[in-house]
Amino acid sequence: MNKHMKSTIKFIDRERRRIELASEKIIASYPLNSIPDTLYKELLNLTEPSDDENTADYSYIYKSMAHKPTLCTYSQTSPFVINCAAKRVRLTLTDSELEKRIDKIEGDVLSVVSRPFEESMEERIDLYRNLFLEEEKIDRLRLGVVEMYGGRTYQNILRDRRVTLSFHWFRKEQPRNVGFQLNCIAEVIFPGEPFYRFMRAMLYLFGRRYLNLGFKDYPCVYRLWVSEVTEKSLDHRTGFVSDNSSS
């Protein structure tokens, strides 16, 4: 694939678990895989505090690093070819569910975020939980990310849809540092599409800004189709301790 040519997604075959990228006359095929179970459960239970966490200020939602990976893209115009940007990712519903429910979802989020932030936090949490109650309606092959600025990450993805998400967070239950590298194919979704509207609503659900549908839209959102998964957890090894239990 010519690195200076823009690539586009040509075909997504969910049954055969394949995705194809096209650039001029070259077509490259990649596998589709599921979000790993450990990461999936962490994102699903984002609003569930651990037993030892103080739930009074809801800070546990913002302290979690599982939904704040680094997104790495290929920079074709820079001598240092890797560009990294911190992003917030979200689980997504299937396209069929979004088609049916997006108006209600957007209305529910608007009704919650129009109220004072601290006073409406319980309702925000309930809304998040209710969205993902039925796991068969969650798309396990992809994640969603909002592009807020349209800068270097955006330009890189327009040229090359191959991206990497690097996740790392600490699990108190085990305890250990959990890590995953997800190599993904980025599909660019522009304003007006149900998927775009869903991701925009999710961005505002736990934010302090009011969701004004008349406000200038973000440039796009990304559907990140999971292709390759590599675990990058820091397990205990001789001479190395990955937690603070001994301190």
Predicted confidence (pLDDT) per residue in 7-38, tens digit: 789 889 999 999 999 877 788 999 999 999 99
Confidence check: pLDDT of 201 > 90 = yes
What pLDDT does 11 receive? 85
Fold (CATH) for 8-231: Pnp Oxidase; Chain A (2.30.110)
Cβ atoms of residues 205 and 139 within 8 Å: no
Cβ atoms of residues 21 and 30 within 8 Å: yes
Before 194, cis peptide (omega within 30)? no
Strands across the sheet with 18-23, in order? 8-13, 18-23, 26-31
Q: pLDDT grade, residue 242 (50/70/90)?
A: very low
Share of the chain above pLDDT 90, in %: 62
So where are the chain's domains?
8-231
Which phi and psi angles does 145 have, rounded to 5°? -140, 140
78 secondary structure, DSSP code: S
Q: How far apart are CA 228 and CA 102, in angstroms?
A: 30
Conformation bin of residue 144: beta by default, left when phi > 0, alpha when psi is -120 to 50: beta
Q: How far apart are CA 9 and CA 7, in angstroms?
A: 7
Cβ atoms of residues 124 and 115 within 8 Å: no
Q: Assign 103 to helix, strand or coil.
A: helix
Q: How far apart are CA 23 and CA 55, in angstroms?
A: 50
Cβ atoms of residues 10 and 83 within 8 Å: no
Confidence check: pLDDT of 185 > 90 = yes
Of 167, 178, 166, which is closest to residue 242 (Cα–Cα)? 178
Angle between helix 194-205 and helix 95-113 axes, rounded to 10 deg:
40
Predicted confidence (pLDDT) per residue in 202-214, tens digit: 998 988 765 555 5
Predicted confidence (pLDDT) per residue in 124-183, tens digit: 999 999 999 999 999 999 999 999 889 999 999 999 999 999 999 987 666 578 999 999
Q: pLDDT grade, residue 241 (50/70/90)?
A: very low
Among 114-118, 157-161, 194-198, the range scoring the smallest mean pLDDT is 114-118
Q: How far apart are CA 206 and CA 107, in angstroms?
A: 15
Among 115-119, 201-205, 210-214, 216-220, the range scoring the smallest mean pLDDT is 210-214
